Structure 1
Amino acid sequence: MTDYSEEQRNELEALESIYADSFTVLSKSPASFSITVSSEAEEEEENVVLSLKFTYVERYPDEAPLYEILSQENIEDRDASVVLGLLHEQAQENLGMVMIFTLVSAVQDKLNEIVDQIKTRREEDKVKMEKEAEEAEKVRFHGTPVTIENFLSWKAKFDVELIELRRRKQKEEEQSGKSKLTGKQLFETDHNLDTSDIKFLEEAGNSVEVDESLFQDLDDLELDDEDDPDFNPLDLESD
């Protein structure tokens, strides 16, 4: 008869020794612990990190342990889901023998693959963005090719704007009213305007006063010969 408790206790001691810096006991009954797994990328900022939690079931290792991801760093959820799928696959393949070391090793190898995949994705995204920028620049420089569809769309929009422009102009002209009438139009609309000046002169004629002093002593004024209406330059030459 298999002594599951003994096998679990022995594996825990081995795991604590192997993963001394990343092994943490979470509970003793049932036995639960976490192991932090990191990729082996050359650049530290490119490393992906997972904290895995394992919990023994009563009949482990004949039954698979419980497992979950406690935390993740620099890894997308879709990649984390791949890791969980890998754990399930490896656990089923290793039933009957202690397997935590095998599971953790498989996850670490997968994280190294994920790092390479992330680099590839970044390069692909960079190339894609550069290509999109180039296409956008071509469109900006050459303009959008005219097709029947986009011409009809533009024409419909243009017609609507033209109708609106004409409506606004007509409304403005109606609001401005007589302020924009020509002189002829003003006389045509107000017949009193053609006699208004005459009436003004008639009314003012009786009240206009003339200052006669302005016209006195004209003989005392010294006028140049050029101002004399009878002046003739030939008379000077004859003298």
Structure 2
Amino acid sequence: MCKRSERNMTDYAEEQRNELEAIESIYPDSFTVLSEEPTSFTITVTSDAGDNDETVETTLKFTYVEKYPDEPPLWEIFSQENLEDGDAEDVLALLQQQAEENLGMVMIFTLVTAVQEKLNEVVDQIKNRREEDKKRKDKEAEEAEKVAFQGTVVTIENFLAWKATFESDMADLRKKRQKEEEQTGKTKLTGKQLFERDHNLDTSDIQFLEDAGNNVEVDESLFQDIDDLDLDEDDPDFDPLDMGSDED
């Protein structure tokens, strides 16, 4: 490889051409030439599959500058899949770092390899984030179940708060019932008010006795000979209960 001080435009062009041929043989299925003047191409980089076969992918676009590799190529993320914006920014920062470290040498393979490793790290991070999210949800569910099982611990503060709310609700309920009674006229009466309101109540007992008397069966044979009795009702010693004893 020529030293920087000895390179001319022909040397730059040759190095670029040789690297392009090598890159095409290394990445035959993911390498695509976009233009020749200037030389521009894309390489699709895909991570290894994660536990659930998930992958992240990005297509990088490189463009040679006139004095590459003494000057870094131009690059951009041409497309991406399952790659979050924050991770994409990390990829661009990584390309910048690797390019600065490899100035003077053809570097496309080095840049792509670094991005490949970065994407593998992203897949691992996705796995870790998923596990952390599951742990968080499990913990929240456990705490919710514990609270539901234990109930609320009663303290002076929350008891007084509950008491104030309860008394307020009861007062509102009483006002509501009173308002409804006033509107419907169905106020509950006392016993005295019921008596004064229903004048038939004072004769109810008499009426009951009269109705009962109409249903009493009388044995008239007990009174058939009553006219034959010699009763001296004027006698001060007269006692109807002793009538039977005189006959004896």
- What is the TM-score of this pair, normalised by structure 2? 0.66
Post-superposition Cα deviations, 1:49-70, rounded to whole Å, max 9, x if no partner, equal 2221222233332222222223
Query: Which 4+ runs in 1 deviate beyond 6 A?
Result: none
Residue 33 of structure 1 deviates from its aligned partner by 1.7
SS at match of 1:122: helix
The correspondence for 1:29, drawn from 29, 32, 37, is 37
- After superposition, where does 1:179-194 map in structure 2 within 5 Å? 179-180=186-187, 182=189, 185=193
Compare 14-23 and 27-36 and name the one that shifted more.
Answer: 27-36
**Which residue is equivalent to 1:2?**
8
Residue 93 of structure 1 deviates from its aligned partner by 1.0
Aligned residues: 201
**Which residue is equivalent to 2:93?**
85
The correspondence for 2:220, drawn from 223, 230, 238, is 230
**Which residue is equivalent to 2:234?**
none
- After superposition, where does 1:119-198 map in structure 2 within 5 Å? 119-147=127-155, 150-151=158-159, 153-155=161-163, 157-177=165-185, 179-180=186-187, 182=189, 185=193
SS at match of 2:220: coil
Compare 3-12 and 18-27 and name the one that shifted more.
Answer: 3-12
Residue 77 of structure 1 deviates from its aligned partner by 2.9
CA RMSD of aligned residues (A): 3.4
* Structure 2 letter corresponding to 1:180: T
Residue 113 of structure 1 deviates from its aligned partner by 2.2
SS at match of 1:231: helix
Which protein has the larger Cα radius of gyration, Structure 1 or Structure 2? 2
Residues 161 and 25 (structure 1), Cα distance of their counterparts in 2 relative to 1, 3 Å cut: farther
Q: Which whole-Å CA distance do the structure 2 matches of 1:85 and 1:140 have between them?
A: 49
Q: Which whole-Å CA distance do the structure 2 matches of 1:148 and 1:64 have between them?
A: 72
Q: Give structure 1 stretches of 5+ with no counterpart.
A: 196-225
Q: Give structure 2 stretches of 5+ with no counterpart.
A: 1-6, 201-215, 226-248
SS at match of 2:126: helix
- After superposition, where does 1:64-79 map in structure 2 within 5 Å? 64-79=72-87
- What is the TM-score of this pair, normalised by structure 1? 0.68
